[in-house]
Amino acid sequence: MKRTIGKLRLRRDRYRSAPPLPRLWSFALVTINLILIAFLILDTPVGSYAPHTPYILRRIGRIVTEFGNSGWVLLASALLFFEAWAVTRLAPTCKARVQAMYVTHIAAFMLISVSLSGLAANVLKRAIGRARPGMFAEWGAFGFQPFAHNSRFESFPSGHATTVGAILMVLALLAPRYRVLFVISALWLGLSRVLVAMHYPSDVVAGLTFGAWCSLLVAIMFARHGLLFRQATDGWPVLRRPIPFGLRPNWTALPLPPRGVPPKPPTPVDVTPPAGLKPL
C-alpha cells in the first residue's frame, strides 16, 4: 500500500504543471436551475398523478430501473480490476502487461466513480430526508424530515439515478463519440424511478447530475496523476489513448471464412489452347 501511495505521489509531482481546472461554475449554475425548475413546477403534478400511473408503465419502470442498482456494476468492475491486475503480474510479454494495466485503470475508474457517488448520495438523502411520492397525500412534494432513519424519507437525491449518471458519464468519457446516446439513455433510465413512484423529477435530475459530476471529478483526478486521462488546454479530461471501439476484424486475413460468410468461389482458369494447337 505504501509503495502504491508513493508511486501516486511521484506521478502527481510529474504532472504538477497540468492545465488548471475547467470552469465548472457555469455548468453548476445550469444544474442548480434545472433542479429548482423540476422542484417547483414538475414535482407536485407528478406526485398527485403517481397513484394513477397505468400498470403497464409501472411494470416497464420496474424492469428498467434494475439497471440503476449499483451492485452489479461494482461487482463487475471489481472482478475486471483484479483479473487485469493479475494479468499484469503473470503476462509473459511487455505488451500484454501494458494492455492489462490499461484495463486495470479503466476498471478502477468505473469502480471509484460509482462507489464514491453512491456513498455520497446515500449520506445526502439521509441528511435531507425528503418524503417519497408514496407519501404525497400526507407530506406533499415539499415534505422533509432530516435524519429520519426511514427509507420513506430518502427521496432526494435518487440513488439509482446517481448510479446511472455515474456509469453513463464514465462511458461518455471513455467513448465520447456516443455521448449523445448515453445522455438519452440516462434520461430514460432516470424516468423509470418516476414511473415506479419512488422519486420526484427533481430527485432524478439531482441524482443524474450528481453522479455525472462525481465521475467527471474522478476523471480529472486521474488526469492529474497521468492515469488513463490527460487534461486538455481547457482543463477537461480526455483519454490519453483512444479506446478502439470501432475496430472491425480483417476477415480477409483469416485462414477460414467466419460463420455466416460464404467462401469466395475460385477464380476460373483459362484453358484455351494457344493459337495453332488443336485441343486433344
**pLDDT per residue over 116-138, tens digit each?**
999 999 999 999 989 888 888 88
User: What mean pLDDT do residues 198-215 have?
Assistant: 92
The model's pTM is 0.78
Look over the chain and give the mean of its residue pLDDT values, rounded to a whole number: 80
User: What mean pLDDT do residues 155-166 have?
Assistant: 91
pLDDT at 187 over 60: yes
For residue 141, what pLDDT is reported? 84
For the purposes of burial, counting CB atoms within 10 Å of the CB of 240, is it exposed (0-12), middle (13-18) or buried (19 or more)? middle
For residue 8, what pLDDT is reported? 59
Between CA 150 and CA 161, with CA 155 as vertex, the angle to 5 degrees is: 130
pLDDT band at 277 (very low <50, low <70, confident <90, very high): low
DSSP states of 74-92: HHHHHHHHHHHHHHHHH-S
The backbone region for 140, taken as left when phi is positive above 0, alpha when psi lies in -120 to 50, beta otherwise, is: left
SS3 266: coil
CA of residue 121 relative to chain centroid, distance: 16
For residue 96, what pLDDT is reported? 78
pLDDT band at 11 (very low <50, low <70, confident <90, very high): low
Of 262, 168, 148, nearest to 210 by C-alpha is 168
pLDDT band at 271 (very low <50, low <70, confident <90, very high): low
For the purposes of burial, counting CB atoms within 10 Å of the CB of 271, is it exposed (0-12), middle (13-18) or buried (19 or more)? exposed
Express each pLDDT in 221-252 by its tens digit. Answer: 888 888 888 888 877 888 888 776 554 444 45
